[in-house]
């Protein structure tokens, strides 16, 4: 088979071959990287600026994604006493709200740390590993990975639009 050159300047390279797990993890990591790329170079004020009628901001998206990484991986796969999965719409909306003193840098660090923890936890289990989820019943790790790809990609798209509205910067990577 002929070698096809890949332009690595375009950003993270997705796994195009390999087993199911490698492909799923590569897609999730790609979309995580897109989100981080969308907030790179922004001031705290720009990242917290509301550009749409909802409370969605670039900083709020990063915070929300860190929280849902924790819920879907840590709370479901390795729950600590007192951990609970949010069930109310208010909990979801609150996950976008910025607390006094939260900075974009602190939110990015929290997101990167939680993503690393999610990778570590997911690596402990086979894709067929099943856990109870309060709203859906049982879900497999495979389902969690696919859901997190969908969730992260959707919010990466939101981040792309918000970044363009902020300073005109476009592009996924």
On the question of pLDDT at 8 being above 60, the answer is: no
In this structure, whether the domain defined by 19-79+88-167 belongs to CATH 3.30.420.40 is answered with no
Q: Contact at 8 Å (CB) between 129 and 139?
A: no
Minimal CA–CA distance to 37: which of 49, 29, 25?
Answer: 29
What's the per-residue H, E or C state across the chain?
CCCCCCCHHHCCCCCCCCCHHHHHHHHHHHHHHHHHHHHCCCCHHHHHCCCCCCCCCHHHHHHHHHHHHHHHHHHHHCCCCCCCCCCCHHHHHHCCCCCCCCCHHHHHHHHHHHHHHHHHHHCCCCCCCEEEECCCEEEEHHHHHHHHHHHHHHHHHHHHHHHHHHHCCCCCC
Q: What percent of the chain has pLDDT over 70?
A: 87
Q: Tell me the per-residue pLDDT of 83-92, one tens digit each, with 9 for 90 and over.
A: 877 766 667 7
Of these ranges, 53-57, 87-91, 102-106, 135-139, the one predicted with the greatest mean pLDDT is 102-106
Average pLDDT, integer, range 65-85: 91
Q: Which of 158, 45, 32, 22 is nearest to 98 (CA)?
A: 45
Predicted local confidence at residue 120, as pLDDT: 98
Task: Average the pLDDT over 48-54 and give the result.
Answer: 94
Separation CA 62–CA 47 (nearest Å): 10
Confidence tier at 17 by pLDDT (50, 70, 90): confident
Q: Which of 61, 68, 97 is nearest to 85 (CA)?
A: 68
The tens digit of pLDDT for each residue in 115-173 reads 999 999 999 999 999 999 988 999 999 999 999 999 999 999 999 999 999 999 887 66
**In this model, does residue 60 exceed pLDDT 60?**
yes
| Phi, psi for 27 (deg, rounded to 5) | -65, -40
């Amino acid at each position: 088979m002929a070698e096809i050159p890949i332009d690595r300047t375009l950003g993270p390279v997705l796994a195009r071959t390999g087993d199911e797990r490698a492909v799923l993890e590569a897609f999730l990591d790609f979309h995580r990287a897109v989100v981080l790329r969308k907030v790179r170079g922004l001031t705290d004020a720009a990242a917290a600026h509301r550009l749409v009628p909802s409370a969605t901001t670039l900083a709020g998206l990063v915070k929300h994604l860190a929280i849902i990484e924790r819920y879907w991986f840590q709370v479901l796969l390795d729950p600590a006493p007192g951990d609970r999965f949010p069930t109310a719409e208010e909990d979801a909306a609150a996950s976008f709200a910025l607390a006094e003193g939260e900075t974009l840098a602190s939110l990015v660090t929290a997101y990167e740390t939680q993503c690393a923890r999610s990778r570590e936890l997911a690596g402990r289990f086979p894709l067929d590993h099943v856990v109870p989820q309060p709203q859906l019943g049982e879900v497999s790790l495979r389902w969690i990975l696919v859901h997190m790809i969908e969730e992260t990609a959707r919010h990466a798209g939101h981040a792309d639009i918000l970044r363009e509205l902020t300073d005109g910067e476009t592009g996924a990577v």
